Amino acid sequence: MGNVAGAPNADLVARDKSGVPWLYLGKGDGTFTARTRISGGWNTYQRLIGISDSNNDGKADVLAYDQEGKPYVYHGTGDRQDPLAARETPRCPTPPPTRRSPEAMA
């Protein structure tokens, strides 16, 4: 995903089936630390996308789309104890990505 927690290595944020997001800190050797719970209630989102640094602070951010397709951005903080700031509505919202069938791409 990129540097969310402030270390020089790329981190991973993943959501489980219950909607709980977890942080896996990158070790720099292609492996990650054990997961750390960073929030809850992310089952309200239909899509989560790791995006580059959308606010130019040097940390990767997360773009989330709710069930109605409304986008929100969570900015990376660089703090491993609290790696994502409170959600914000993006200044330039984009429609949620759609999935295409292989036939539609041909």
Predicted confidence band of residue 95 (pLDDT cuts 50, 70, 90):
low
> What is the Rg, in whole angstroms, of the alpha carbon atoms belonging to the chain?
14
Residue 2 has pLDDT above 80, yes or no: no
Higher pLDDT, 98 or 90: 90
Higher pLDDT, 93 or 6: 6
Segment among 2-6, 51-55, 81-85 with least mean pLDDT? 2-6
Residue 23 CB neighbour total at 10 angstroms: 23
Q: What is the mean pLDDT of residues 47-75?
A: 89
Nearest to 32, CA basis, from 59, 7, 58, 68: 7
Question: What three-state secondary structure class fits 45?
Answer: strand
- On whether the CB atoms of residues 78 and 72 are closer than 8 A, the answer is no
Q: Is 21 left (phi over 0), alpha (psi -120 to 50) or beta?
A: beta
How many whole angstroms separate alpha carbon 97 and alpha carbon 70? 12
Average pLDDT, the chain: 84
How many whole angstroms separate alpha carbon 44 and alpha carbon 18? 10
> Which pTM was predicted?
0.77
Nearest to 32, CA basis, from 85, 82, 80: 80
pLDDT at residue number 7: 76
